[in-house]
Amino acid sequence: MNRTEHRPVTAVDEHAHAWSPKAARARFRDGLTGPTAGVAAGHTQANLIAVPADWAYDMLLFCQRNPKPCPVLDVTDAGAWTTPLAEGADLRTDLPRYRVWRDGELVDEPTDVRDVWRGDLVSFLIGCSFTFESALAGAGVPIRHVEQGRNVPMYVTGRPCRPAGRLHGPMVVSMRPVPPRHVAAALRETGLLPAVHGAPVHCGDPSALGITDLGRPDFGDPVDVAPDEIPMFWACGVTPQAAVMASRPPFAITHAPGQMFLTDARDEQYRIVA
């Protein structure tokens, strides 16, 4: 059953940070949607992309060649919709919202993809920068999109990823404005989490990435940036979606940007001991 018509309020409320991942997934399964930043705080979030098996090697190679935007946490068998990262979860129903692609074109954004799931789909779970936001907050770094109740802003850059087989496309980045006194902490804390994108790929002038207007992100929502704040850009797991648009595989399913899969893993499992 497709629940595209059911669009309830955002997933994030004053209690969402305290939800367990299992409780969050149950709410999403029941139709709750919205950005997952701050939900089930301390638990690892993941991007999703599922491609036909005959494209899976290209996708795996694409991720291996572009580890900053595409750090792989798990890869399923063809047709499988489960993962050891989340006991009892269903990758077809347990994300807030999905995107369905045909020949590189976005054709639907449902909240349940059981009716279009295929037996040849191989799913990739890719690290998400929402995971390191608990570490940033713990170090006193403000998380502007969470403070403003918005989705994180994401931008398609002018930096091409390294191609792999039939897959190619630009790197996508997420942006967080950081006061100068917190920049060192942001670099340190995210650098210790390479499995969820690690340290920023750029700090400062967005034009160096080919971004012309921070107020017009390609995905997510714009956030207010104070005059003295430094925009910091992290490689983003929406990059495979940019590759889908550029490379036009016949079919793919992804998460909707900012609406992630909540795993049972704890953030510290992916943290390098300093």
Short-list 152, 220, 143, 149, CA closest to 186 = 143
**CA 262 – CA 161 distance, rounded (Å):** 27
Q: Please state the domain extents for the chain.
A: 16-130+249-270, 131-235
Give, as one character, the DSSP assignment of residue 138.
Answer: H
**Confidence (pLDDT) at 274:** 60
State the fold for domain 131-235: PSTPO5379-like fold (3.30.2040)
Contact between residue 107 and residue 87 where contact means Cβ atoms under 8 Å apart: no
Q: Which residues of the chain have pLDDT under 70?
A: 1-14, 274
**Confidence (pLDDT) at 158:** 97
Residue pLDDT, tens place only, 59-115: 999 999 999 999 999 999 999 999 999 999 999 999 999 999 999 999 999 999 999
Contact between residue 13 and residue 146 where contact means Cβ atoms under 8 Å apart: no
**Confidence (pLDDT) at 12:** 56
Residue 107, judged by CB atoms within 10 A of its CB (0-12, 13-18, 19+), counts as exposed
Q: What is the pTM of this model?
A: 0.92
Residue 170, judged by CB atoms within 10 A of its CB (0-12, 13-18, 19+), counts as buried
CATH architecture for residues 16-130+249-270: 3-Layer(aba) Sandwich (3.40)
**Confidence (pLDDT) at 149:** 87
Are 16-130+249-270 and 131-235 equal in CATH topology? no
**Confidence (pLDDT) at 11:** 56
